[in-house]
Amino acid sequence: MKRWMRCRVAIGLATAIGLAAVLAPAVPAAEITLSYANFPPAPTFPCVQMERWKTEVEKRTAGKVAVNTFPGGTLLGAKEMMDGVIAGQADIGCLCMAYQPGRFVVTNATGLPVGIPDARTGSLVLLDLFNKYKPEEFAKVKVLALFTTAQSNIMSKVPVRSLEDLQGLSLRGSGPAAQVLGALGANPVGMPMSDTPEALQKGVIKGLLSSLEVLKDFKFAETCRYVTLIDTVIYPFAVVMNMDRWNSLPADVKQVMEDLIAEQSEWTGVYMDNHVKESVEWSKETYEVEVISLDAAEKARWDERLKPMTDKWIAEAKAKGLPAEEILADIRAAVEKHRK
Ligand code: DTR
């Protein structure tokens, strides 16, 4: 072959290879794309579990499904999550049920002081409860995961060593946690977690009641140098999918998601429990956060104040025609079944 011809063949080949590389995607394009909305910022646990679910679904469907995630309320905010998913504004959404106490009466019973010791147990208890009662408020969605936080504790700018220190102190809590604060004599300020950093910064609140992983994930340890361990209520969460979208999925994709329900719920609980430990250690090391424990007599005074909360819930549940005592008994039995 003449030199110039060899040269043209080489150029032609290189162009063909280059074009093929551009035109043929490395991974086959997904047949189904789902949007997944979340309200808090990306580093927080609801979003960490969302990314894990996305990875697993994409892997287990061999790329047939792609999940586009929207953390930080960019698609739907905390309180519009359920209605937004029902309306199809997002295919999937993650919501904290405690932010709408009257709407999720059955599942929010897990947020009462019923002795849920950790997030893994809480998540399994919540799942059992849901499976038994199938609450009608979920009739328009497909539930993809259910999990809870770890127990809530006080994070504050001032030390809280006794009930007296707490009186009138403005602390943030939502739903059952706000009731806990009220019953203890604090001034409860209700708002979703996503609004809390600004409220702390502006001084509208002096601290909050929540699971302690937020010390690190929201850097609350920087402003809240005191933690009081009261090991009280958990917050229940749900991940829900628009029902029409669910019904439109092929059977093999549905199966992947069905298989993930219990696994994802427990995974999230375990992640949360481990992350709380890490976050507390980090806060002590980085900001010298003081962790205050109450002695048994002091703790008993606090617990005593919380008893009426459960009675109030029983009355509310009964007024809605729900078997309140049976629900509570089921929760307590499930705690014993699942705790390690
Ligand atoms: N404790 C609840 C729920 C919660 C706990 N950690 C996070 C992180 C991001 C959003 C919500 C939550 C609360 O205080 O809202």
Q: Is 73 in the pocket of ligand 1 (CB under 6 A)?
A: no
Residue 200 to residue 211: CA distance in whole angstroms: 16
Pocket test for ligand 1, best of 126, 149, 152, 180 (most atoms within 8 A of CB): 149
Q: Is 38 in the pocket of ligand 1 (CB under 6 A)?
A: no
Q: How far is the CA of 197 from the centre of ligand 1 (A)?
A: 12
Residue 26 to residue 118: CA distance in whole angstroms: 43
Pocket test for ligand 1, best of 38, 235, 239, 272 (most atoms within 8 A of CB): 235
Considering just the CA atoms, what is the radius of gyration of the chain in Å? 24
Q: How far is the CA of 211 from the centre of ligand 1 (A)?
A: 7
Q: Whose CA is nearest to atom 13 of ligand 1?
A: 193
Kindly provide the b/e burial profile for residues 95-105, where b requires at least 16 CB atoms within 10 angstroms of the residue's own CB. Answer: bbbbbbbeebb
| 188, 112 Cβ separation under 8 angstroms | no
Structure tokens at 326: 């049976």
Q: How far is the CA of 332 from the centre of ligand 1 (A)?
A: 23
Q: How far is the CA of 111 from the centre of ligand 1 (A)?
A: 13
Query: Bridge partners of 172?
Result: 189, 208
pLDDT tens, position by position, for the chain (340 residues)? 445 455 455 555 555 555 555 555 555 689 999 999 999 999 999 999 999 999 999 999 999 999 999 999 999 999 999 999 999 999 999 999 998 889 999 999 999 999 999 999 999 999 999 999 999 999 999 999 999 999 999 999 999 999 999 999 999 998 888 999 999 999 999 988 989 999 999 999 999 999 999 999 999 999 999 999 999 999 999 999 999 999 999 999 999 999 999 999 999 999 999 999 999 999 999 999 999 999 999 999 999 999 999 999 999 999 999 999 999 999 999 999 999 8
| 288, 225 Cβ separation under 8 angstroms | yes
Closest CA to 147 of 118, 186, 169, 176: 118
Q: Is 214 in the pocket of ligand 1 (CB under 6 A)?
A: yes
Pocket test for ligand 1, best of 94, 211, 219, 280 (most atoms within 8 A of CB): 211
The answer to whether the Cα torsion of 77, 151, 200, 102 is positive or negative is positive
What are the residues whose beta carbons fall under 8 Å from the beta carbon of 143, sequence distance 6 or more? 130, 238, 239, 240, 241, 261
Structure tokens at 309: 């909360």
Please state the pTM of the whole predicted model: 0.91
